[in-house]
């Protein structure tokens, strides 16, 4: 198991600060209340139930204790796409660094002329 893995598990315990999960690989983990879903959760007991099957993503693994920090929120946020707003810009034109490349020789020439005039 590594950070970023998506695993199935079952809720085995619920506390005011989070839910304990028995993962399919027999490790246990904790979903902190802030990682259950986006937004505020006023009552965790209304959101999750013991025995509920969940899909979680691994945030961190403590290899010494064999326990994991888990998140359901990150998986939910993957499904939400931010709509692309049209802005009046040239982001559709794939120019990249081309304008800089074209202007660079001119800028170097101007800088060299300035430096030559400034040196005593």
To the question of pTM greater than 0.75 for the whole model, the response is: no
Q: What is the predicted pLDDT for the residue at 74?
A: 87
What is the DSSP pairing of strand 67-71 with strand 6-15?
Answer: unpaired
Domain-embedded: residue 55: yes
> Which residues of 1-120 form beta strands (DSSP E)?
6-15, 18-23, 28-32, 53-62, 67-71
* CATH number assigned to the domain comprising residue 15: 2.40.50.140
Q: How many separate domains does the chain show?
A: 1
Q: What is the predicted pLDDT for the residue at 80?
A: 63
Domain-embedded: residue 52: yes
- Quote the tokens at residue 28: 């246990």
Domain-embedded: residue 64: yes
Name 81's Cβ contacts closer than 8 Å, sequence gap at least 6. none
Q: Which helix (H) or strand (E) holds 113?
A: helix 98-118
- Quote the tokens at residue 84: 């692309």
Domain-embedded: residue 21: yes
Q: pLDDT 10s per residue in the chain (120 long)?
A: 788 889 999 999 999 999 999 988 888 899 999 999 888 888 999 999 999 999 999 999 888 888 889 999 888 876 666 565 655 555 566 666 777 888 899 999 999 998 888 765
Domain that holds residue 45: 6-79
């Amino acid at each position: 198991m590594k950070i970023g893995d998506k695993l199935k598990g079952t809720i085995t315990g619920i506390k005011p600060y989070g839910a304990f999960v028995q993962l399919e690989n027999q490790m246990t983990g904790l979903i902190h209340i802030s990682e259950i879903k986006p937004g505020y959760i006023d009552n965790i007991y209304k959101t999750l139930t013991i025995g509920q099957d969940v899909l979680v993503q691994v945030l961190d693994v403590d290899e010494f204790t064999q326990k994991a920090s888990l998140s359901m929120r990150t998986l939910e946020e993957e499904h939400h796409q931010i709509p692309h707003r049209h802005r009046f810009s040239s982001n559709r034109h794939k120019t990249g660094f081309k304008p800089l490349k074209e202007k660079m020789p001119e800028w170097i020439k101007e800088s060299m002329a300035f430096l030559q005039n400034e040196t005593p």
